[in-house]
Amino acid sequence: MPNPTKTTNLVALISALFLVGCSSSFTNMTPAKALKPGHVQASLTVASTAHSTALDKTSEATDALKNSVNGFGDGPDIPEPDYRDIVEVGSSWLLFTPGATVEIMGRIGVVELLEGLDVGFRYDFNVAKGDAKLQVFESSDGVFALAVQGGYAYHTGSVDIVSDYLKLAEWTRQDLDFLVSAGLSYKDNIHFWFAPRLMVSFVDVQQALPDEFVSRLPAEIRAAGPDELIRNETMYYYGATLGTMLGWRPFYFTLEVTIMSLAFEPEIYGEPADFDSFVIAPAGGFSLMW
C-alpha cells in the first residue's frame, strides 16, 4: 500500500520539476460522414487525458528520490539507482501529464471522392494536428457511414524538463494516428460514431543537465552522451473512440471518450523501463456546422 505522505511529497516534487507535459491529442469530435465540399465544421473542445503509469511511477518511487535532488551542485553524490528513479518518474510525468486542455478545431469538405473527403486541423496551444477523413461507404438510407482517417501531430517547439534552477532534458514529439470510423446519423440531428484506432508516437529526449549537477552523478552516467538518456522512444497506442453529436444545424453539442492501451518500454541509460499504461481521454464541446 503506497505511503500517502510519500506520494504527496513526490507529486509536489515532480510537479515542480516537470511543468510542461506532452500528452497527445486523442480527440476526434467529428461524425463518420464526411462533410460535403465547401461545408465547414468549427469546434471548441475541453479535453482531458490521464495515463495510469504517471500515478503508478509516483506511488512506487522511494523517499530517497525527493532527497536526491536537494542542493543540486552543493549536495552529495547521487547514486545511480536514485538518478534512474528521477529520470523514470520525471519522464512519466513529462510524457503523460494528467490534466485538461482547450482545443480548437476546423474542418472543411474538399471533394466527392468515393463518398466524400474532408480535412481538419486542431490546436490546443501545445499540439498542432492535421488529419484527413475519407468516407468509403454510406447506406442507401443515409443512416450508416464508414470512413478511414489519418492524422499527423507535432508537439510545437522543443519543451524542456525544467524547474526554476534545473533543466534536466529537452524533447520533441510527433504522432501518427490511424482510425476506422463507423457511424450512425439520424436526420442530421443525432450522430454516433465508434472508431478503433492506432497511434504511433516518436519521442526524442536528450539530457541537458548543468555541469554542477552532472558532477554529482555516477561516472557511467556522466560518460553517457546526451542522446543516451532514453532509447527505444517509439510509443504504440491501441484503442477506440466513442462519440456523439447532438443538435440542430448549425449548433451541436459533442461528447466523446477515448480509451487506449499504451505499449512503451524504453531503455533509460541502457536499463529497461516499463511505461505500459491504461489511458482514458474524455472530451466535450460545441460545434458549428454549415
* Domains of the chain with bracketed CATH: 4-23+36-289 (2.40.128)
Average pLDDT over residues 153-180: 69
Please report the pLDDT score of residue 278 as a whole number: 92
76-112 tens-digit pLDDT: 677 777 777 777 777 777 777 777 889 999 999 999 9
* Helix pair angle (80-95, 4-17), 10° resolution: 70
d(CA 38, CA 159): 37
In which band, very low, low, confident or very high, does the pLDDT at 200 lie, cut at 50, 70 and 90?
very high
What proportion of the chain, given as a percentage, has pLDDT over 70? 73
| Phi (first) and psi of residue 126, to 5 degrees | -140, -40
d(CA 128, CA 150): 14
Give the type of residue at 176.
L
Indicate whether 196 pLDDT > 80: yes
Between these two residues, 31 and 213, which has the higher pLDDT value?
31
Cβ-contact 286, 41 below 8 angstroms:
no
Please report the pLDDT score of residue 217 as a whole number: 73
Please report the pLDDT score of residue 161 as a whole number: 46
E runs forming strands in the chain: 40-51, 99-111, 116-123, 127-138, 144-155, 159-162, 167-186, 190-207, 230-231, 234-248, 251-263, 267-268, 271-272, 277-289
Angle at CA of residue 258, ends 148 and 243, nearest 5°: 70
Between these two residues, 273 and 253, which has the higher pLDDT value?
253
Average pLDDT over residues 133-143: 96
In which band, very low, low, confident or very high, does the pLDDT at 158 lie, cut at 50, 70 and 90?
very low
Please report the pLDDT score of residue 9 as a whole number: 45
Give the type of residue at 55.
L
In which band, very low, low, confident or very high, does the pLDDT at 226 lie, cut at 50, 70 and 90?
low
SS3 category, 232 = coil
> Which residues have a Cβ under 8 Å from the Cβ of 82 and sit 6 or more positions away?
62, 64, 65, 68
d(CA 111, CA 106): 16
What proportion of the chain, given as a percentage, has pLDDT over 90? 50
Between these two residues, 89 and 148, which has the higher pLDDT value?
148
Please report the pLDDT score of residue 159 as a whole number: 47
Angle at CA of residue 236, ends 47 and 134, nearest 5°: 65
Please report the pLDDT score of residue 204 as a whole number: 80
**CA dist 202 → 22, 113, 250, 270, 278 (Å):** 12, 31, 38, 18, 19
Residue 86: other Cβ atoms inside 10 A = 21
Please report the pLDDT score of residue 271 as a whole number: 79
Indicate whether 152 pLDDT > 80: yes
Between these two residues, 57 and 41, which has the higher pLDDT value?
41
**CA dist 205 → 45, 230, 237 (Å):** 29, 6, 19
In which band, very low, low, confident or very high, does the pLDDT at 60 lie, cut at 50, 70 and 90?
low
Average pLDDT over residues 196-224: 77
Residue with C-alpha cell 499504451? 262
7-37 tens-digit pLDDT: 444 444 444 343 344 556 899 999 999 999 9
